[in-house]
Every structure is written in structure tokens, then in C-alpha cells.
Amino acid sequence: MSEIYDIGYRHYDGPRLGRGHTTRALTVHSLRGVFGLGRPARSKLVPFSLAAIMVLPAIVSIAIMALMRREGMSYSGFAVIMQAVLAIFLASQAPTVVAPDLRFRVLPLYLSRPVTITEYVGAKVVAMTVALYALIAVPLTLMFAGELLVDLPGPPRTKEYLGAMLTGLLLAVLLAAFGLAIASLTPRRGLGVASVIALYLLASASVPIMYSTLLSAGDEDAARWAWLINPFWLVDAVQVWVFGTTPNSEGGYPDGPVSFVIVVLLIAAAVAALALRYRKAASR
Amino acid sequence: MNSVVAGITYRALLGRRRIVLLLLLPVALLGLALLLRLMGSDDQRSAMLLMQNFAIGTMLPLLGLIAGTGVIAPEIDDGTIIHLMSKPISRPVIAQTKFLVAASLLAVFAAVPTYVAAWLLVGNEDAIAPGFAVGALVAGIAYAAVFLLLGVVTRHAVTIGVVYALVWEGLVGGFVPGARKFSVQQWAQSIADQISTSPFLKADVTLGFAVPALVIVTVLAVLWAGQRLRVLSLTGDE
């Protein structure tokens, strides 16, 4: 008899929800973590105040449309104008998604369940993407709803709105993948915040210097390439190429699909870096 | 000043990944300076652009943030600060030592590259290079003190520091002239303006305001950090 010590523990006989459910639960958990839900009020302060700042221009824009009867902020330029807020959000919240699990070495615990590294990384990237996309899409949708309600003379800018929503998604994927890849290099939250924001500032501060230098050297074509260093203008270049919007930079961007190719390559590189990083982290 | 505490802090900052970040920013500055020189635009105007936008506007606050919070925040996060605080060393002395370490790192990683980058572009013309180097040095000391205090006061020191450096000094300072008076970067530029004779450099804040402000901010921040360390309580992270 093998049941000498059966002391009557009950086995789990509820429904087995399967792997899809595990991944979904992990995604929702990470997403709640990004906004500090289920954590103390201190953790909610930064994400929600940044989200509030993102909505402010939409409200101002609706007020302009309603009171002054003229077009408010352009949809295509929203992400570029608000880039500092988005960058701070990414920098401050990306480490909260990845750092605690690395720091307390709980990855082997996750992986002892039927969760693979791919699913784990995928859940984290999706959670961060959804959070960033919410920050871009909610104000855009508010503005569009406002435009429809105010009913300005002339047709609504539906195409520009949809274009901005689509490129916003591309931007969110790029930022999330890249931000998480950098933040996952260190188990410390503070250092993660500093490295993400340092890379963004390096990119954004060198653009005007490179642009004006190349322009004063008389090389206008090369100067346009300088904008592509900053991820926000890079995605704006994709928007210009696909939807034919007016560029939000002086002098425009290089023509053709090159910006889109760069975005895809960058996303692929960031996801690959994440996968490699977690393969190593899981083995400890 | 306690040499053992200083040694531990140096090792913690320079021995880990933090040094990659500390090196990345000055290397980028020197790379940009070299690039500008190779492009043939090594005139005073582009030197000003590089110094104001990149060296003082981006690199200095970021390095201040990394060094200033890095000397103390990880120890508080880990709880290992308790080993340091249970020793018979006065806590204000611990704070002062850590401040000196951060300030010395900023001198090496921020002020020296600033001088070299400016010198690469314009040589010693109109004392631009020494002006910005001294400005970066003094502002670096102030940043070290302020961010050390932030690191002692809050767990979200880096985020708050980024918001201050980017939003207050960058965005608000750009639109609201009054906000520029209370910005470490502008104080650095006043000092650079005082030393340099270049016609391209115009500071918004007078030296009579900038110098006392820098001294008061630095001294108060270090003293306050010491006081906060005396009553520090370790609480769990989230």
C-alpha cells in the first residue's frame, strides 16, 4: 500500500484554466503594477499624475474647439509634443515591471509553473505597451470625441485621428520593448530609471545639435537623418510616410520606408535582447 | 569625512554597472564635440549649443542624479545602510562623506569632460572652456548635495529628480522666465558667463543671486540630509 500517510489533504479538482490564462493573469498583474494598482498610494502618485498631464492638452484642445470655433491640437503631433511626459512615464514605470522579479530572484518560481520565458517576456512587453498606449490613445480619443461633439465646420479629421492611433500603437510597442530591455539589465529600480531616461535624453539632446551642425554645413539631406535618432521623431517619420501627415520636425524626414524598417529592426533587437537577458536570469 | 565610508562608497559606485552610465554620458559629449570638429563647425556658436544644451542641460543633471542618489539610495533600498549606521560614526558625518564622494565623482566625470569638449571645439578662446568647466564643477557640487538629500528623503528619488531636471529646468524654465531663477543649470551658466568673455553667452540670472543660491542650497541640503539620516527608519519596499 502506498497510502500509509494519506492524511486527507484534498486535491485540486476545480477547472484547469490552461496556459493562455496564466499569461493573461501575468499581463494583468504587470499592468496593474505599472499604474500602482494594488500597491500603496505612493506608487500610484507618479503614473497617475503623468497620465493626468497627458490628458490636459486634450481638454485644452476641446475648450479651444468649443469656445473659439477653430481646430485644436493636431492628432499627428500629439505624441511628439508630449514626448517628455511619455519618456518620464516609461523611465519611471518600466523598472517597476521588471526589476522586482529580478531583484528577489523569483524567476525560477515563475518558470516552475507552465510559463515559458517567451510567455513571461511577452506578458511584460504587452503590459507596458498597453500602459503606454493608454496614455497616448485616451487623450487622442477624447479630443476626437470632442471634435465630433463640437461639430466644427468642415469634415472631421477622421483619417488623421486613425493614423495617429495606429502610429501611437507602433510607438508604444517600440518604447515598451526598448525601455524594458534597458530596465531589465539592472535589478535596481533607481538605476533602471536613470538608464532609460539617460538614453532618451542622449538621443533627444543630440538631435538639435547634429541637425543644426549638418544644416550649417549645407548638407540638408544628411540633416534630415538626424531626426531619426530620437524614437518619437522616428515614429513620426513612419506616420508621415504611411499617412502623409505634415512632419512635426523642421525640414521633414528622409523619404520612403526607411524609418519603418529602422523601427521594426529596433523592436526586433530589443525583444531579442530581452529574451537573451531572461534566459540568463532564469538560469540563476 | 570618514575614509572607510568614502572607500566603501567609491567601490559601490565604481565597481558596478553604474560606472557604465557614468562613463556613457561624458563619452557621448566628447563624441559629439569630436563630430562637430570633424564637420568643421568648431566655432563659438556651436560650442555654446553643445555646452548649454548637452553638457549643462543634459549631462550634468543626469550625472548628478546618478552619482548623488547612487551614493546612498541603493544602500537604503537594500537595508545595508543599517550596518553603517550602527557603527559609532556620527550620521551627519556619513552624509557629508557621501556628499564629498558624489561631488568628487561629478568633478571627474562632468567638469573635466566639459572642459575637454569645449577645448576641442574652440581651444582657449574667450575662456569658454574654463568658464563652463567651473560652472559644471560648482553646479555638480550643488546637484550632488540636492540629489543626496532626495535619496535620503524618498524611495522615488530618481523619478523625482528626473521630473525636476526635465520638467522644471527644461520645460518650465523655457516658458516661464521666473522659474529660471531657481534652476541649478542657470546658476552654472551665470558662473560660466562671469569667467568667459564670449559674446554668445548671456546668463539670465545675475551672479549676485547665483553664487549665494548655490552655497545656500548645497550647505542646507547636506545638513538636512545629515539630520534626516539621524531619524531614518527602514521600511519595506512597496
Split at pLDDT 50, 70, 90, the class of B238 is: very low
Residue of A nearest to B57 (CA): A205
What is the signed CA dihedral for B159, B165, B171, B172, rounded to 10 degrees?
A: 100
In a domain, A13, yes or no: no
Give the model's pLDDT for residue A6: 72
Residue environment code for A237-266, b if the CB has 16+ CB neighbours within 10 A, otherwise e: bbbbbeeebebbbeeebeeeeebbebbeeb
The string of pLDDT tens digits covering residues B45-56 is: 888 888 888 888
Q: Judge whether residue A12 has pLDDT over 90.
A: no
Average per-residue pLDDT for chain A: 89
Average pLDDT over every residue of A150-175: 90
- φ, ψ for residue B50, nearest 5 deg: -65, -45
Residue of B nearest to A82 (CA): B171
Q: Judge whether residue B38 has pLDDT over 90.
A: no
Average pLDDT over every residue of A253-271: 91
Q: Judge whether residue A204 has pLDDT over 60.
A: yes
Q: Do A198 and B171 touch (CB under 8 A)?
A: no
The string of pLDDT tens digits covering residues A79-92 is: 998 998 999 999 99
Whether B108 contacts B165, CB under 8 Å: no
Residue of B nearest to A91 (CA): B159
Q: How many domains does chain A have?
A: 1
Split at pLDDT 50, 70, 90, the class of B236 is: low
Q: Do A217 and B66 touch (CB under 8 A)?
A: no
The string of pLDDT tens digits covering residues A94-125 is: 999 998 888 888 888 888 888 888 999 999 99
Long-range contacts of range A54-61, CB-CB < 8 Å, 24 or more positions apart? A54/A82, A54/A85, A54/A86, A54/A135, A54/A136, A54/A138, A54/A139, A55/A138, A55/A139, A55/A142, A57/A81, A57/A82, A57/A139, A58/A138, A58/A139, A58/A140, A58/A142, A58/A143, A58/A146, A59/A142, A61/A143, A61/A146
Give the domain extent around A255: 19-282
Q: Where are the domains of chain B?
A: 3-230
In a domain, A14, yes or no: no
Q: Do A88 and B62 touch (CB under 8 A)?
A: no
Per DSSP, B90 falls in state -
Q: Do A42 and B156 touch (CB under 8 A)?
A: yes
Q: Judge whether residue B169 has pLDDT over 80.
A: no
Q: Which residue has the higher pLDDT, B200 or A175?
A: A175
Give the model's pLDDT for residue A24: 94
A281: closest CA among A116, A98, A102, A26? A102
Considering only CB atoms, A190 lies closest to which of B57, B62, B74, namely B74
Give the Cα separation of B41 and A142 in Å (integer).
46
The string of pLDDT tens digits covering residues A38-49 is: 888 888 988 999
What interface predicted TM-score (ipTM) does this complex get? 0.85
Average pLDDT over every residue of B95-115: 94
In a domain, A6, yes or no: no
Q: Which helix (H) or strand (E) holds B116?
A: helix B112-122
